[in-house]
Structure 1
Amino acid sequence: MAETRPDRSRDAAFAWIAAIATLATIVVANVAPARGPAPQPAVLSPADDPGCREWTDSCRVCTRDADGIHCSTPGFACQRAALRCTGR
């Protein structure tokens, strides 16, 4: 019976390809310019928007009047959501 030897040149080629691919990934990650998310236009919070007279986060309601800003007390098991203007 003839003994079969593994093809070492093929294994070496795969090892070199893996090493080059790893090195290329590291180089690209460190050299390529970082791209963050596109800047979003500034959105005023209802509390910062002088045209908003009443807003809520589903837990408390805040109102703006001549005396300033007044907010209710949140409930015991409140689940807050994003602020939204409910009255102009």
Structure 2
Amino acid sequence: MLDARRDTSRDALFAWIAAGAILTTILVANFAPARGVVPAHQPAALSPAEDPACREWTDSCRVCTRGTDGVHCSTPGFACQREALRCTRR
């Protein structure tokens, strides 16, 4: 009977240690300073879709054109591999 009590106490100790390690990981991930974050005072670069000077842009799947009546985009293919947006005509 004494051996069974030791086994459960060992399991409980392991559970507490694991819970502490998980909690520590979560806290560090949430409160550690992030690297590579753009400060709020720097303006973000405009994507081609937000740049009024860009008349046509693509992500290698579809082509979007800005006209006088708004933005029109083509339909992408079903097996398309998107890339970063880039302006193709100004």
TM-score, normalising length: structure 2: 0.56
Q: After TM superposition, give the deviation of residue 35 of structure 1 in Å.
A: 5.2
Distance in 1 of aligned mates of 2:58 and 2:46 = 14
Q: Does 1:63 align with 2:74?
A: no
5+ residue gaps, structure 1, are 1-29
Large movers: runs of 4+ above 3 Å: none
Q: After TM superposition, give the deviation of residue 34 of structure 1 in Å.
A: 2.8
Letter in 2 for 1:44: L
Q: After TM superposition, give the deviation of residue 86 of structure 1 in Å.
A: 0.3
Distance in 2 of aligned mates of 1:61 and 1:35 = 35
1:47 maps to: 49
5+ residue gaps, structure 2, are 1-27
Matches within 5 A, 1:67-86: 67-86=69-88
Deviation sequence 1:20-71 (CA, Å, 0-9, x none):
xxxxxxxxxx7xx835325275110111000000000000000000010000
**Structure exhibiting the larger radius of gyration computed from Cα positions:** 1
- What's the Cα RMSD here? 2.3
Aligned residue-pair number = 59
Q: Percent identity?
A: 70
Distance in 2 of aligned mates of 1:51 and 1:87 = 9
Letter in 2 for 1:84: R
Q: Which has the higher helix share?
A: 2
Distance in 2 of aligned mates of 1:75 and 1:42 = 30
TM-score, normalising length: structure 1: 0.58
